[in-house]
Amino acid sequence: MKVIAIWALVEIDNLKATEPLINSLQDESEKVRIEAIRALVKLEAPNAVEPLIYTLNDKNNLVAGAGAEALGGIGDPRAFEPLLELLNSDNNYVKSIAAHALVQIDVSKAVEPVIASGLVLNSLAEDSKTTFVPLLNALRNDDPLIRANAARALGMMGDKRAVEPLTEQLEDKEIGVVIAAVNALAQIGDKGAVEPLITLLKKEDPATFSMTANALAKIGDQRAIEPLINILKHGKNILATACALGKIGDLRAVEPLIDSLKANTTGIGPIAINTALLNITNAIVPADAKDWFFVARLWEEWWVDNKDDLLRSRAGNEKKAAAPELDEVPLAMSRRVLQLMKSEKWGELKIIGPAAITIAINALSTNDKQGRATAAKALGEIGDNRCVNHLIVALKDKDFGVRRKAAAALEKITGANLGANYNDWETFWENN
């Protein structure tokens, strides 16, 4: 009943209602206290700030969090210091809400304490004009935790100006800082990071190798191929190396991968190698976990038969840039991809690569609306720019569900949020 009474006061929309609402902040019921906080925000009561600050000391974390969220939304500078103290809370939920509220009230003042807390770094990344320079400065902080968190925030920001300072962090003495810098460079995806990442890769440090190989694969620069192949030949870090070579997709890796498969026939290594070969070549070679050496021999035979054609089609060892035509995809592969789409096994679709893209694109124009919606979602999960034009066309689909899935896929691939408006997406993609 008290909760109903609280919102009845809000409906009156009279500032005289604020006094009973403020009194309700002391109610024995945590639910009543939380609803009173929300009601005061709804009324925009000018005298609510001090009572709301008092709620930050509430013994119930949900009430303290609600108070912090309310103060962040109001944006009154009087709440900054009390919220700052809340960063010392033992409860991560409360700390996270307080950190976000500090950013809302005064992002320039909030940068250092929020970096130190390691929470809501995405909020700092969203306000790049204000936070970019402070984040760069934080990379030189004496505290390794602050350096690492600053690197993470810069990675979320995605600003290419941060590449050079982040590559300097690859030589940091603290491994946590190095790992944060590697991941940040992978997120930014700029080719200016390739050589420093290769230098780090060659150290073959177990603590950083997998992430460094993955970062190079994500950037996709061909300069990483030879260093990765050399490491593969030494029989070290097979899993991460094979995965990276598979993602980059350069044909120069095929023969070294086949040789590695012959030499490594137990554990999960051969699975990674075989997957990499599938991803690079888009071939269908039967895999038998009981006899990987035999599978390697099958790959050798397939490579001898198809090497010249593949090299010609890739125009001088360039990475494949387009999905195959539908009539070039074997029927068995088509059936497999459709089944994986139906089962929502996105990881396996990504491994298949271009053939999956072709089949999913074709499925966008079938008579089955559920199939079209599934295809749109699959293309979003695969995340390849080659899908964008087809997904934009799908925004004209007569079925709302298909249009909604296409819009979600476009957002996932591009990072833009334009809803399901065909014209907006067409203009965006033309300009980008």
Instruction: Read off the pLDDT of residues 42-53 as tens digits, 9 standing for 90 and up.
Output: 777 778 889 889
Expressed in angstroms, the distance from the first to the final Cα of the chain is: 55
pLDDT reading at 232 higher than 50:
yes
Query: Using the 8-state DSSP alphabet, how is residue 398 labeled?
Result: S
Q: Which residues of 199-238 are buried (b: 16+ CB within 10 A; e: fewer)?
A: ebbeeeeeebbbbbbbbbbbbebeebbebbbebbeeeebb
Q: Where are the alpha helices (DSSP H) in 13-143?
A: 18-24, 30-43, 49-55, 61-74, 80-86, 92-105, 107-117, 121-126, 128-138
Taking residues 273-295, report their average pLDDT: 80
- CA torsion sign, 215 to 217 to 222 to 224? positive
The answer to whether the CB of 60 falls within 8 A of the CB of 33 is: yes
The answer to whether the CB of 142 falls within 8 A of the CB of 134 is: no
Tokens 């940040």 locate to 184
Return the pLDDT at 4: 59
Phi, psi (rounded to 5 degrees) for 77: -65, -20
The answer to whether the CB of 204 falls within 8 A of the CB of 236 is: yes
The answer to whether the CB of 408 falls within 8 A of the CB of 396 is: no
Total length of the chain: 432
How far CA 278 is from CA of 55, 159, 164, 353, in Å, comes to 58, 34, 35, 9
For the entire predicted model, the pTM comes to 0.63
Q: Find all residues with CB under 8 Å of 23, minimum gap 6, and list them.
A: none
Of 212 and 33, the one with more pLDDT: 212
Domains of the chain by residue range: 2-244, 245-321, 326-431
CA pair distance 121, 123, nearest whole angstrom:
5
Return the pLDDT at 253: 93
Return the pLDDT at 200: 96
CA pair distance 155, 397, nearest whole angstrom:
36
How high is the mean pLDDT of the chain?
A: 84
Q: Return the minimum-mean-pLDDT range out of 116-130, 202-216, 220-234, 313-327.
A: 313-327
pLDDT reading at 353 higher than 50:
yes
CA pair distance 213, 241, nearest whole angstrom:
6
Return the pLDDT at 178: 96
The answer to whether the CB of 407 falls within 8 A of the CB of 423 is: no
Pick left, alpha or beta for residue 49 (phi over 0 → left; psi -120 to 50 → alpha; otherwise beta): alpha
For residue 213 the two structure tokens come to 């190989």
Question: Residue 9 — pLDDT band, cuts 50, 70, 90?
Answer: low
2-244 and 326-431 have identical folds: yes
CATH architecture of 2-244: Alpha Horseshoe (1.25)
Taking residues 76-86, report their average pLDDT: 91
Give the alpha-carbon dihedral of 409, 154, 81, 28, to 10 degrees: 30
Question: Residue 313 — pLDDT band, cuts 50, 70, 90?
Answer: low
pLDDT digit string, tens, across residues 290-305: 788 888 898 889 898 8
pLDDT digit string, tens, across residues 99-121: 888 988 888 788 888 888 877 67
What percent of the chain lies above the pLDDT cut of 70?
90
pLDDT reading at 318 higher than 60:
no
Return the pLDDT at 7: 60
Provide the angle, in degrees to the nearest 10, between the axes of the packed helices 292-313 and 254-263: 180
pLDDT digit string, tens, across residues 387-410: 888 899 888 888 888 889 999 999
Query: Using the 8-state DSSP alphabet, how is residue 432 labeled?
Result: -
pLDDT digit string, tens, across residues 157-204: 888 899 999 999 999 999 999 999 999 999 888 899 999 999 999 999
Return the pLDDT at 320: 39
CA pair distance 193, 186, nearest whole angstrom:
9
Q: CATH classification of 326-431, choosing from 3.40.50.1360, 1.25.10.10, 1.10.3720.10, 3.40.50.720?
A: 1.25.10.10
Q: Which amino acid is at 306?
A: N
